[in-house]
Structure formats: C-alpha cells, structure tokens
Amino acid sequence: MAFIVVDKDKCTSCGECINVCPASVYEFDDDEKSEPVNPEECIECCSCVEVCPVGAIKVDVCE
C-alpha cells in the first residue's frame, strides 16, 4: 500500500487530486482540505502528485 501524505497547510482546496484520482482515494475534510481517506485503493499512478499545483501531495512510490 502506498504511503500518502497531504500537507494541508499547502492545500488550496482546488479539488484537482479528487478529480484526477482513478481510485477515489481523496475526499475533502471538514476544512475542505484534501484527505486521503482510501489509501488502500491507490494504484500508484502518481497523477495526484503531478496535478497538485502547490506540491502538497507526497506518495512514497512516486518520489
């Protein structure tokens, strides 16, 4: 399983990671920051890392 971390101080709530993820890993939390709620579903495509405009997402296999 990939290890996924979102830096919520960087996240601008754009929603791009939620839109791009083919495995529905992300949802907005109560503060409308992206939260990896289903990390076990990750297929390690690295699209979220590439699409985030502020570099807020780290996925260990995408380093």
In Å, the largest CA–CA distance within the chain is 28
Does 46 sit near ligand SF4 (CB under 6 A)? yes
Does 35 sit near ligand SF4 (CB under 6 A)? no
Does 1 sit near ligand SF4 (CB under 6 A)? no
Q: How many CB atoms lie within 10 A of CB 36?
A: 21
User: Which residue among 3, 13, 27, 60 contacts ligand SF4 (CB under 6 A)?
Assistant: 13
- Residue whose C-alpha is closest to residue 26's, from 45, 44, 6, 7: 6
Q: 26, 18 in Cβ contact below 8 A?
A: yes
**Positions in the binding site for ligand SF4 (CB under 6 A):** 2, 4, 6, 11-17, 20-23, 25, 34, 42-48, 51-52, 54, 56-57, 59
